[in-house]
């Protein structure tokens, strides 16, 4: 739900015609939450900043490719995470953000997606996910939370495509057992 006078889709249309002020506005509107999610995913501020910058360069170059059939924020996230993937392949596993960093963004008005992500990470589902092995948790995060295909997740995680599918299936079984009380 957008409350701004100019919607994100309109900003993208203006960016596709070379409007730099529209790009600046889109960056101001979305860079905070994108950086938070990238940082959480990467565990490294420099990698996250590089991926974010690269994503907005792609926005500048390819804004006209936005089809308008989904949320602009989701489209931006897809670009950003795809810019982060090559960097993560050579990096060790990410570390969690400190609580004070997360708290800094807690007072902001959050979108429905952001509220859902916080509930997932810090609610019952987050507790259940924390009990998964790192391999299962990484596969589930990449495919479900980050929205990557199993093939993209396989590239990110450096494992075969079938392994990602198996890990996601096993993770869902473990989550179901934990959340349903062992049923």
pLDDT on residue 3: 44
pLDDT on residue 94: 44
Q: Considering just the CA atoms, what is the radius of gyration of the chain in Å?
A: 17
pLDDT on residue 177: 85
Domain ranges of the chain: 1-108, 123-183
CATH topology of domain 123-183: Arc Repressor Mutant, subunit A (1.10.10)
95-106, pLDDT tens digit by residue? 454 565 456 555
Long-range CB pairs of 65-71 (<8 Å, 24+ gap) are 66/9, 66/12, 68/9, 71/8, 71/113
Low-confidence ranges of the chain (pLDDT < 50): 1-4, 92-95, 97, 101, 183
Domain 1-108 has CATH 1.10.1740.10: yes
Please check whether residue 72 is in contact with residue 20, taking contact to mean a CB–CB distance below 8 angstroms.
no
- Collapsed DSSP state (helix, strand, coil) of residue 115: helix
pLDDT on residue 30: 92
């Amino acid at each position: 739900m957008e409350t701004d006078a100019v919607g994100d889709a309109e900003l993208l249309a203006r960016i596709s015609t070379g409007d730099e002020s529209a790009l600046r506005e889109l960056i101001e509107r979305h860079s905070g939450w994108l950086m938070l999610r990238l940082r959480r995913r990467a565990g490294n501020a420099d990698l996250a900043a590089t991926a974010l910058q690269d994503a907005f360069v792609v926005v500048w170059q390819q804004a006209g490719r936005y089809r308008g059939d989904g949320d602009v924020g989701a489209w931006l996230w897809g670009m950003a995470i795809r810019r982060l993937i090559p960097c993560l392949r050579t990096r060790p596993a990410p570390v969690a953000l400190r609580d004070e960093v997360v708290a800094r963004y807690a007072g902001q008005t959050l979108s429905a997606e952001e509220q859902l992500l916080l509930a997932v990470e810090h609610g019952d589902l987050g507790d259940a996910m924390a009990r998964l092995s790192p391999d299962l948790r990484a596969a589930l995060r990449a495919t479900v939370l980050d929205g990557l295909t199993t093939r993209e997740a396989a590239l990110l995680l450096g494992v075969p495509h079938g392994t990602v599918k198996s890990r996601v299936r096993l993770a869902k079984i473990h989550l179901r057992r934990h959340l349903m009380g062992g049923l």
